[in-house]
Every structure is written in C-alpha cells, then in structure tokens.
Amino acid sequence: MQVQGIMQEAIRFIQENFKQVAVLKDGASGLTELVIDPGKTVYIRKAIPYTGLPYQKLARLDHPLLPKIYYAAEDALRTYVIEQYVEGQNLQALLEAKGTLTEKQVRGIGLQLCDVLEYLHINYIIHRDIKPSN
C-alpha cells in the first residue's frame, strides 16, 4: 500500500473511531473536539489546516508535561490528530480567573515551562507559539 493510501486509512480511522462529545474550538485555525472511543476514554481530536508540523515525530515524545499524541495523519489540506485530553485550564484562563499569581506560583509555572522546553529542544523541536492560551 502506498503512503497516500496508508494516510487515507489513518484519517478514516481517526474520523470513524472517535465519537464527538463537544466542539471546543471551531475557526480558521481548525476544529478541536472532545471525543470518546468505544472504550469511553476521552481524547482531543483536531482537524487543522496542514502546517507541516512533524506530528509523527511529536507522537514519539514522552514527557509528563506534554499531552500524548496517539494518532496523526495528514492529507494535502489538513492534519488530523488524536491526543490526550488534559482536564483543567490553560494559563490564560487561570490568569483571567485569579487576576494575579503569587511569586511561588509564577516560579513553579516558569520552572515547568523551562523543563518542557528543554525536553523539546533536546529533541530538536522549537515550539514557536508560546503564550498563556496554549
């Protein structure tokens, strides 16, 4: 089977084996959904415009501060991803809810960010879109 055929099978698997629970985001940057598999495990499914991001490489990463990517496939227009659902809120939502953080909280978040960025850089990956909403 050719690579294109394998990718089409992977895309079909991603689309057919995960049932939508909720749409989290739908816009120019793509569709992000909360989905479940037949075993009722909750995941995030993304269908985003093709960007050339190395999702196959990202799927091989293993770090406790990074959501695990389980499946990734792409065609000429879109990238399809199934990744770990991490319950909670991003830093932007936390700042909006609390207003300010203590020095200890800021230090803890900064150290976690440095830890995960070091891991990415060791694996020759540069994030390029670090912001509180990510």
Find out whether 66 and 116 touch, Cβ atoms under 8 Å.
yes
pLDDT tens for 53-62 read 788 888 999 9
Q: Where in the chain is the domain with CATH 3.30.200.20?
A: 3-87
pLDDT given at position 57: 86
| Mean pLDDT of the 108-124 span | 96
pLDDT given at position 34: 95
Q: Pairing between strand 42-49 and 69-74?
A: unpaired
Q: How many Cα atoms are found within 13 Å in the side-chain-facing hemisphere of 64?
A: 2
pLDDT given at position 12: 87
This prediction's pTM: 0.81
At the fourth CATH level, the homologous superfamily of domain 3-87 is Phosphorylase Kinase; domain 1 (3.30.200.20)
Q: What is the phi/psi pair of residue 124, to 5°?
A: 60, 40
Alpha-carbon distances of 58 from 80, 92, 126, rounded to whole Å: 13, 24, 11
d(CA 114, CA 36): 32
